[in-house]
Amino acid sequence: MALENSATKVLQVVKQDILAGVFAPGHKLKMSALKERYHVGVNPLREALSQLVVMQLVQVQDQRGYRVCPVSQSELIDIYDTRARIESLCVGLAIERGDQQWEADIVAAAYRLQANASLLQADGDLQSWEQLHQQFHYAIAKGCGSKELLRVRLDLYEKASRYRNLWLQHNAGHAAFDVNQKEHEQLVCAVLERDIKAAQSLISKHILVPSHVLQDLL
């Protein structure tokens, strides 16, 4: 069961490579090179790249192949701005609808994040920390109970990944992460107290921090 076809497998790994910056923004994705790298034929590759086009991570020019979507400051701002609003929406609905299990999951995720703060040191595994970070925020958002909203949220999270990785690297072993941790504590408090306005304000600001930092960098 669950035998994945080549296209499905290669989609995951190409996507990761693009999000991780293995292929730079604007980079031409030649079939011959991709065939070599992933050891698959052109057909599964074309299927995977077609899907990445829909996800807006890859551009296609007819008869001229595929290339990684470029990044830009205006897109950075737009994505983070939209994420802040969508996440606010999720948090607001989650506070209205969340049950005790939801609360417990948030506390558990917050604990795991806190307990692994050492990952943020200069030589730490930032990607592992980011995974815990994402799981923490997802624990809050999933209380909204809307599959569609959570899908939109995930799309935007992934689209932001290329920019977020720049921020993570820039902040490695930096004091900015201390502030980040404090924001999480405040957010958990506001959420558990069911203070919608406060929680929305906090999450919105929290999401926009990397955007502000990166705007100065780009």
Shorter beta-carbon distance to DNA: residue 11 or 166? 11
Site for a copy of itself in 56-85 (CB under 8 A): 56, 60, 62-63, 75, 78-79, 81-82, 85
Contact 207, 84 (CB under 8 A): yes
| 136 in Cβ contact with 113 (< 8 Å) | yes
Told to check if 54 binds DNA by CB under 7 A, we report: no
State how far the Cα of 73 lies from the Cα of 131, in Å rounded to an integer: 25
Among residues 37, 39, 80, 73, the alpha carbon closest in space to that of 208 is found at: 80
Interaction between residue 31 and a copy of itself (CB under 8 A) = no
| Interface residue with DNA, options 13, 17, 27, 40 (CB under 7 A) | 40
Identify the burial level of 188 via C-beta atoms within 10 angstroms of its C-beta, where 0-12 means exposed, 13-18 middle and 19 or more buried: buried
Burial of 152 (0-12, 13-18, 19+ CB in 10 A): middle
Token digits for 38? 């992933």
Give start and end residues of each alpha helix (H) in 28-146. 31-38, 42-54, 73-97, 100-115, 126-141
Q: Select from 16-24, 39-47, 117-125, 134-142 the region that touches DNA (CB under 7 A).
A: 39-47
Q: By CB under 7 A, is residue 73 in contact with DNA? A: no
Q: Which of 32, 99, 123, 148 binds a copy of itself (CB under 8 A)?
A: 148
How many chain residues are in contact with DNA, going by CB under 7 A? 23
Residue 64 binding target from a copy of itself, DNA, none, CB below 5 to 8 Å by type: DNA
Q: Does 107 bind a copy of itself (CB under 8 A)?
A: no
> Which residues form the interface with a copy of itself (CB under 8 A)?
2-5, 7-8, 43, 46-48, 50-51, 53-56, 60, 62-63, 75, 78-79, 81-82, 85-86, 89, 146-149, 151-152, 155-156, 159
